[in-house]
Amino acid sequence: MEEMTLKEFIHFFQSTFYKQLKKERFCCCPNCNNRAIRSHVFQENRILKPIAKDSKVYQFHYNNLFNPQKIGYKLEGINKAFSFNGYCNFHDNGLFAPIEKNNENIDWTDKYNQFLLGYKSICNELFRVNVGIETLDIVSKETYSTQSFKIFWAKSNLNGLKLVLERYKNLFENYLLEQIECDNYSFETIIFPFQIDLCISSPIQIEGIRSYNYNTGMKETNIVNMFPYNGTTIIILGYSEGFDNNWIKKISNKLQSKNSIEISSAIQDVLFHAEFHCMSKNLYDEIGVKMQKFLDEWYENRTNYDMELKYTSNILSDYISKIANFK
């Protein structure tokens, strides 16, 4: 086999990734063999449209671990942003009806609604993990030799993450579909009386001494959902019982501090751990020249799952200070 140049390999990886991303898939709900349609993690009309100028938002992209130049934000239409081929039409419209209401306000402190949105976060992440594994399987057969170890390392990480996500997916399905009470996963909802034009949805794993339960095979996994809603900002923090949960406790305390620096620091800490997020054009322009330092530090921390990360940027401090009006 003729060896690829690094440039050729990066192009091959990228094109393979996007091909797998668009691949036809089946509904991820259990025992359903219907074809999946494009599903939005967040409701398009009530959540994405209010922050979408000309129906577009800036979505974060990090799709190529071999090319740091591929990290950044890309302007995308909301019909594509925050979407994935996850559920069939029946489940997308039926199962998630309680959090897809257009004419009624949704109670985001309700346990069932929290679990529904958390389930979407898990399925979306699992979808992207599977795309990554499939991509690495294909490129490993025609790999550029100096990238072999990086591919092996990435596949090992993704396969481990897949196992953990599938266990949480089963846990959430037992509650949502089988009505089996779930006492070992909880949510906390924080509501700001002002709108932050930022959407985040991600299961987040933090490494620590007690981050893995060998009895259950579960790993400490936080689910963070943040989005604007009716002029307010909703932040839903999910956490597994039986773990220390020190990171999510720190985030919660900062978010409830009524201090714009602490709040912006907490949100940025979440951004460093979450690939799946988008923002309005207004917020993107407001951040301006601060963005590049954030992107550089995000890339430096991309494989760091510790509770404390090393960074100095704070891209949201001025923005939140201006809109929050804390006394």
Domain ranges of the chain: 185-324
Q: What residues pair up with 37 in beta bridges, in sequence order?
A: 87
The predicted structure's pLDDT at residue 278: 95
The predicted structure's pLDDT at residue 18: 87
The predicted structure's pLDDT at residue 124: 95
**Helices (H) and strands (E) in the chain — how many of each?**
9, 11
Assigned token pair, 163: 């196992």
Angle at which helix 260-273 crosses helix 246-255, to 10 degrees, equals 140
The predicted structure's pLDDT at residue 12: 85
Nearest partner of 315 among 274, 273, 272, judged by Cα: 272
The predicted structure's pLDDT at residue 217: 73
How many angstroms separate the Cα of 160 from the Cα of each of 53, 111, 168, 219?
39, 28, 13, 10
Q: How far apart are CA 312 and CA 326, in angstroms?
A: 23
Q: How far apart are CA 208 and CA 261, in angstroms?
A: 26
Tell me the H-state helices in 197-259: 246-255
- Which helix (H) or strand (E) segment is 83 a member of? strand 83-87
The predicted structure's pLDDT at residue 59: 94
How do the residues of the chain divide into helix, strand and coil, expressed in percent and rounded to 5?
45, 20, 35
The predicted structure's pLDDT at residue 96: 95
Tell me the H-state helices in 215-311: 246-255, 260-273, 281-287, 290-300
The predicted structure's pLDDT at residue 327: 53
Nearest partner of 57 among 319, 275, 282, 298, judged by Cα: 282
- What pTM, to 2 d.p., does this model score? 0.93
Chunked mean pLDDT (size 10), the chain, 327 residues: 71 87 93 94 92 94 66 90 92 94 88 97 96 90 70 86 94 94 93 96 83 77 96 96 90 95 95 92 95 91 82 92 80
Phi then psi for 147, rounded to 5 degrees? Answer: -100, 0
The predicted structure's pLDDT at residue 64: 61
Rounded to a whole number of angstroms, the distance between the first and last alpha carbons of the chain is 67
